[in-house]
Amino acid sequence: MKFLVTAGPTREFFDPVRFLSNRSSGRMGYAVAAAAAARGHEVVLISGPVALAPPPAVRVVNVVSALDMLAAVEDEIEKCDALVMCAAVADWRPKVFSESKLKKRDMAARIELVPNPDILSALRPRKGNRIFAGFAAETGNLLEEAQGKLLRKGLDIIVANDVTQPGAGFETDTNIVTILSTDAEPEHLPLMGKDAVAVRIIERIERKAPAAP
């Protein structure tokens, strides 16, 4: 199969040195890309800014902002059989970008924001037979929130994790996830390395993929 995986945070700059972002380290997405490649799949990884080495046998496309990531996903989507959106895409970006560094004395106390597009929702019309998988990083009502996102975003699979639990979520090598899908009971996985979680996700996608003609 051909996998398109996104990973890491996006950065939303409002001058050449300042940006809004989030705590994503990219580890889960890099683990998913590495696991897919290790299982013999062709993998393109669209990565926000992270401090990780590219996984072996994976083509990496580096991006910065949510708009860059959307454009990169749009460029690659036709060629893929499965899209796995692990990236923590910033939901908002500053309305105005200043080409020169803002001086403290000239800065307003508020930054006006505009919403970024939802990449999964934007790609929905081009889904066809592709498998779409997403992540839901939550701090409460885990399964309810994840189930809502599964349906709202038209996904086949969503991987839910409660980022408040020790050993789960951001900046760790482990995760505690529940895999929800449209056609099976939720699968609760124990605390596992992100590499092992990634293999479980890829196996689920392989099982769901339409048989090759």
For residue 177 the two structure tokens come to 């996830």
For 130, the enclosing helix (H) or strand (E) is none
Part of the chain binding ligand CTP (CB under 6 A), chosen from 30-38, 117-125, 169-177, 191-199: 117-125
**Contacts (Cβ under 8 Å, ≥6 apart) of 90:** 9, 10, 11, 12, 20, 21, 22, 65, 66, 116
- Of residues 129-148, which lie at the interface with ligand CTP (CB under 6 A)? 134-137
Part of the chain binding ligand CTP (CB under 6 A), chosen from 56-64, 100-108, 116-124, 178-186: 116-124
For 109, the enclosing helix (H) or strand (E) is none
Asked if residue 206 binds ligand CTP (CB under 6 A), the reply is no
Asked if residue 29 binds ligand CTP (CB under 6 A), the reply is no
Query: Which CB sits closer to ligand CTP, 120 or 180?
Result: 120
Asked if residue 198 binds ligand CTP (CB under 6 A), the reply is no
Query: Catalytic annotation on 116?
Result: no
CB of 10 to ligand CTP, least distance (A): 8
Using the rule CB under 6 A, which residue among 25, 65, 116, 181 binds ligand CTP?
116
3-state secondary structure of 136: strand
Asked if residue 204 binds ligand CTP (CB under 6 A), the reply is no
Buried b or exposed e, range 152-183, using 16+ CB within 10 angstroms: ebebbbbbbbbbeeeebbbebebbbbbbbbee
The residue number with the shortest CB distance to ligand CTP is 134
Asked if residue 87 binds ligand CTP (CB under 6 A), the reply is yes
Tallying the residues shown for the chain, one arrives at 213
